Amino acid sequence: MASEPKQKIAVMTSGGDSPGMNGVVRAVVRMAIHMGCDAYCVYEGYEGLVQGGSYIKKTEWDDVRGYLGIGGTYIGTARCMAFYERPGRLTGAKNMILNGINALIICGGDGSLTGADKFRAEWPSLVEELVSTGQLTKEQVEPYKKLNIVGLVGSIDNDLSGTDATIGAYTALANICEAVDKIESTATSHSRAFVIEVMGRHCGWLALMAGVAIGADFIFIPEKPREDNWQQEMCDVVKKHRDWGKRKTIVIIAEGAMDRHGSKITPDMVKDLLADKKGLALDTRISSLGHLQRGGPAGAYDRMLATLQGVEAVKAVLDAAQAVKEGKPQPETCVITINENKITRQPLMAAVAATQQVAKAIEAQDFDKAMSLRDTEFAEMYSSFMMTTAMGLDTSIHVPANKKMRIGFINVGAPAGGMNAAVRAGVAYCRSRGHEPVGIYNGFAGFARHHGDKPEGAVRGFDWLEVDGWASRGGSEIGTNRELPEESGMELMAQLIKQYRFDALFLIGGFEAFHAVSQLRKARETYPELCIPMTLLPATISNNVPGTEYSLGSDTCLNELVNYCDKIKQSASATRRRVFVIETQGGRSGYVATLGGLGVGASAVYIPEEGITLDMLAADVRHLKEAFQKDKGRSRAGRLILVNEKASRVYDARLIANVFKEESHNRFESRDLIPGHLQQGGIPSAMDRCKAVRLAIMCIKELEKFGPKPFENPDKIKSDPTSASVIGIQGAQVTFTPMEELETRHTDWQNRRPKAAYWTDMKEVVDVLGGRPKYPEPE
Ligand code: ATP
């Protein structure tokens, strides 16, 4: 029987470039080849489709090597006027058919996806016209009666409805935060104000998130213009912050900022207000970040998103092809999206239509509608921003005196990026509501040994002026410690909680913090003083806390690791053929190694969940030898292997590197490297900072539900499983899971990790896209 012709899948990048587009191209090309298809790249967006010829090229596995670490798009992008018109699309259709392309994966913004949808809708009539005008024969077009298209959203604006993040948005946000962090130090030195203009004509996501991550004084976004007296409001907020003693003022303004009547608000207008000699008289400068925002290699998150969504796009294409083959209706054209942490497929046209509605609502000055059309995270972030900057200005959100609570804040375990941002946001929220936030310094060890009411004691209130500067600070300002409460004794813990009259505990930390909550919860039977609500916000680079798929600090860690690996890879390409075996942190969880591997395109990843065997190493040596053999005369870039610090009791990075060196028989060199604590990161990533704010506020809101003096009714607390909980992102949702449920059903206590790792499929993606042979090898 003749074998079926191979599916030919083409990938294209279109519209404005965004970091991560190269990751999409790599993932689509390699996944397509892995699935037995031929892969094509269409160069220069729709322009390439219309031009045809050398703009449409078959692409091989090795052609996309090294793509992950490169910014922009290697296959080019363009704005194509011809594609807006039917004749342009007709030529595009002809070129696709002439090249035998069955499916097209397009990564671009809403314009590109609108073009894609138009192309798809018109396709049958385009094919008919190609035949009726004699450009192609009936036989030629027969296999191409249906167009199989899948969209991916590559845009720094994060403006597509239906997805929480577009590919490139978090990198652009990181670029903004990096620039503003630098501007802040000069602003503080001179006690200046800075007005910072960021991209976003119809979408204020970058401005909003930057405002949250930085702890800006004021923001302007198109979807939510402030009231008519915005000039006065801004000056009041800035004056209040200056009165608190703040030496810097940062105002973020989106390109599309306007007032409620549709008139543009410009950086100059804001500057003039802040500098007005009769008003605040601040020495004010404008900084427009421009194209810096979209430049540079993609961050870890965008590499992950690009890769997983590229893989999903190929799967969607093949599912649609299969459906047609089986005589079923072709599934609706989809766009690949992400909701919280879940990659999903959504109808393309509905997502594009909803996105366009936002722009229309803004134009029509229907701002409530514009906000409601954005995703939930957007609205939550907006209210988080307002809560953390306008503290105390809006007394209507204060709780009544008899509802005020005294909430203890404690960090437990190793420091992780975002811990300080979480404390800051929690403190700000408490102040907004009129609660009393109290810091417990240096974890449970500090609590047990250095208590006392003296200012230098371990339990003390927060000085907002100090805390306000913590948004971008790494480490743990209130100090963290690995010690568990039982080490000092539960009796002492109960006595201290009573002594300090805590109504609730807000914990931020990793597996030790998780363990601590478990101990405190269990001890409630003996000590009724412990009958206060407690909630844990997971923060650990290892991301091994049960109840969540994301921990604060893990994104910072992955960014550090990916940057480190990029540099190492580059050094290897300048020298000889080399394999670097890099040891990653992560305890007994392979999350960091796996996601790091996804971000750098590792040839292999070794994790504790799978262990390491001699056969595995032998198979990988064979694979590497073959890979270097194929490289002859081509690029000599190095290859990376990531090994988790506890993947094996015997085979550590050094030993693996030595085994590889010995077994390579001079085909390649091998070195081991240990980035160690560098992975904990310096300045936390923008994502960790933003998520810290959102999740910390949600935690305090959760604690608020229990009200003051919960210990007066201990049975009620004991019988309520939600009174000790962990906040987490699980799939498409943010949830609070009762500690009792997590500790009894979902925790692998021996290995200090959740029983089920949600990222197992990602490990498979790393292996597939790294070209690693399936292990164990087939007989
Ligand atoms: P960005 O978000 O960076 O602006 P985008 O994809 O929205 O990216 P556009 O310039 O709007 O960028 O679109 C890119 C290309 O997609 C256009 O140059 C054009 O070729 C095609 N395109 C856009 N809109 C349409 C449309 N309505 N009909 C046909 N083609 C379109």
Task: Determine contact, residues 766/607, Cβ cutoff 8 Å.
Answer: no
Mean pLDDT across the stretch 500-516?
97
Sorting pLDDT into bands at 50, 70 and 90, what band is 680? confident
Q: How much distance in Å is there from the Cα of 323 to the middle of ligand 1?
A: 29
Res 522: pLDDT: 97
Res 67: pLDDT: 93
Instruction: Please indicate whether residue 15, judged by its CB atom, sits closer than 6 Å to ligand 1.
Output: yes
Q: What percent of the chain has pLDDT over 90?
A: 77
Instruction: Return the residue whose CA atom lies nearest to atom 14 of ligand 1.
Output: 15
Instruction: Please indicate whether residue 411, judged by its CB atom, sits closer than 6 Å to ligand 1.
Output: no
Respond yes or no on whether ipTM tops 0.85.
yes
Question: Pairing state of beta strands 436-440 and 459-461?
Answer: antiparallel
Give the number of the atom of ligand 1 that is nearest the alpha carbon of residue 78: 18
Flag whether pLDDT at 595 surpasses 70. Answer: yes
Residue of 117 and 251 predicted with greater confidence:
251
Instruction: Please indicate whether residue 114, judged by its CB atom, sits closer than 6 Å to ligand 1.
Output: yes
Return the best residue to mutate from 12, 13, 14 for the ligand 1 pocket (most ligand atoms within 8 A of CB): 14
Instruction: Return the residue whose CA atom lies nearest to atom 26 of ligand 1.
Output: 115
Res 706: pLDDT: 96
Instruction: Please indicate whether residue 110, judged by its CB atom, sits closer than 6 Å to ligand 1.
Output: yes
Res 27: pLDDT: 98
**Tens-digit pLDDT profile for residues 344-362:** 999 998 998 988 898 898 8
Res 153: pLDDT: 96
Please, what is the average pLDDT of the chain? 92
Q: How much distance in Å is there from the Cα of 91 to the middle of ligand 1?
A: 17
Residue type, 204: G
Q: How much distance in Å is there from the Cα of 516 to the middle of ligand 1?
A: 53
**Helix (H, G, I), strand (E, B), or coil: what is residue 388?**
helix
Mean pLDDT across the stretch 106-121?
93
Res 684: pLDDT: 96
Q: How much distance in Å is there from the Cα of 321 to the middle of ligand 1?
A: 26
Instruction: Please indicate whether residue 201, judged by its CB atom, sits closer than 6 Å to ligand 1.
Output: no
Q: How much distance in Å is there from the Cα of 108 to the middle of ligand 1?
A: 8
Task: Determine contact, residues 85/32, Cβ cutoff 8 Å.
Answer: no
Instruction: Please indicate whether residue 84, judged by its CB atom, sits closer than 6 Å to ligand 1.
Output: yes
Flag whether pLDDT at 92 surpasses 50. Answer: yes
Flag whether pLDDT at 289 surpasses 50. Answer: yes
Q: For CA atoms 26, 32, 36, 37, give the dihedral sign.
A: negative
Sorting pLDDT into bands at 50, 70 and 90, what band is 340? confident
- Could you give the residue ranges of the DSSP H alpha helices within 390-434? 419-433
Res 387: pLDDT: 85
Q: How much distance in Å is there from the Cα of 587 to the middle of ligand 1?
A: 46
Flag whether pLDDT at 391 surpasses 70. Answer: no
Task: Determine contact, residues 388/215, Cβ cutoff 8 Å.
Answer: yes
The residue annotated as part of the active site, out of 17, 157, 164, 217, is 157
Give the number of the atom of ligand 1 that is nearest the alpha carbon of residue 159: 2
Res 189: pLDDT: 87
Q: How much distance in Å is there from the Cα of 158 to the middle of ligand 1?
A: 15
Instruction: Please indicate whether residue 80, judged by its CB atom, sits closer than 6 Å to ligand 1.
Output: yes
Instruction: Please indicate whether residue 88, judged by its CB atom, sits closer than 6 Å to ligand 1.
Output: no
Res 528: pLDDT: 94
Q: How much distance in Å is there from the Cα of 14 to the middle of ligand 1?
A: 7
Residue of 592 and 389 predicted with greater confidence:
592
Q: Which residue has the tokens 């004699």?
A: 134
Give the number of the atom of ligand 1 that is nearest the alpha carbon of residue 18: 3
Return the best residue to mutate from 17, 21, 112, 293 for the ligand 1 pocket (most ligand atoms within 8 A of CB): 112
Of 193, 286, 209, whose CA–CA distance to 242 is shortest? 193
Flag whether pLDDT at 778 surpasses 70. Answer: no
Residue type, 356: Q
Res 1: pLDDT: 45
As given in the structure block, the two tokens for residue 638 are 């190095």
Instruction: Return the residue whose CA atom lies nearest to atom 22 of ligand 1.
Output: 115
Element (H, E) at 738: strand 733-738
pTM confidence score: 0.94
Among 12-26, 71-85, 385-399, 643-657, the range scoring the smallest mean pLDDT is 385-399
As given in the structure block, the two tokens for residue 168 are 């490139």
**Tens-digit pLDDT profile for residues 306-325:** 999 999 999 999 999 999 88
**Tens-digit pLDDT profile for residues 726-753:** 999 988 789 999 999 999 999 999 999 9
Instruction: Return the residue whose CA atom lies nearest to atom 30 of ligand 1.
Output: 115
Instruction: Return the residue whose CA atom lies nearest to atom 11 of ligand 1.
Output: 111
Flag whether pLDDT at 576 surpasses 70. Answer: no
Q: Is 157 noted as a catalytic residue in this protein?
A: yes
Q: Which residue has the tokens 């047990």?
A: 448
Sorting pLDDT into bands at 50, 70 and 90, what band is 162? confident
Mean pLDDT across the stretch 619-640?
80
